[in-house]
Structure formats: C-alpha cells, structure tokens
Amino acid sequence: MNPTPPLNPTPQVDKVLRVFLEAVDEPRYGYELMRRTGLKSGTLYPILARLEAQAVVEADWQPPDQTLPGRPPRRFYRLTGAGVATARQLVAEASQTRETASRSRRGLLPGVEGGRA
C-alpha cells in the first residue's frame, strides 16, 4: 500500500480547509465544497481523500432522502477533533507563504531587491 503524500498548504487545500473552518462542527458535501471553493471535482475529491487518509476529515454516507425519489445517498465530510488543529495550522502556513511571496514580489524582504535574490 502506498503511503499518503503529506498535505501541503496549496491554495486549493487552503480553500477547502477555510470552508471547513467556517463552522467546524458542520458536515460539508462535495457539491457544496465545489461550489464554495470553485474547484472542479477532479481537484476536490483527491484533496478530500488525502484529508481523510490523514484523519483531518472523516466521511460518512447520508441515507437517501425518501421524500426525494431518485436522489442517491450523499457523502459528507466533517473535520475531526485533531483535524481542526491541523486545518488551522495548514491555513496559517498557506497565509504565511502568500504573505512572504507578496512581500518578495514587492521587494520588501531583506536581501531581496525588486523581488529577486
């Protein structure tokens, strides 16, 4: 079995985690996450799989709604207890990376002139 690659605070992971952190106890559905983040399913679901494999989120199936015939069961995702701390850490890392990159582009880092070393 291949180990799960470590989570990197990429902009896409950051978007997903920020939605989860808005209400840490609320379950999130894939469609809602796609709509809120603007990510396509081919990007979102691998992120969710990595988050689940690393116990940042847990997933469960919601039984089909009997009042809506033909609607399939939906999978929902929720941050785990430890996942809340991990999500906050990754979001902070992503924010710091963005700030460092922004300062570098503006030439505000020590030893960096015009954003170039």
Cα–chain-centroid distance for residue 113? 34
Report the run of H or E that residue 41 belongs to, with start and end: helix 41-53
Residues 8-47 pLDDT 10s: 778 999 999 999 999 999 999 999 999 999 999 999 999 9
- pLDDT-derived band at 105 (thresholds 50, 70, 90) equals low
How many angstroms separate the CA atoms of 22 and 79, rounded? 11
Higher local confidence (pLDDT), 3 or 44 = 44
pLDDT of 84 reads 96
Flag whether pLDDT at 74 surpasses 80: yes
pTM: 0.76
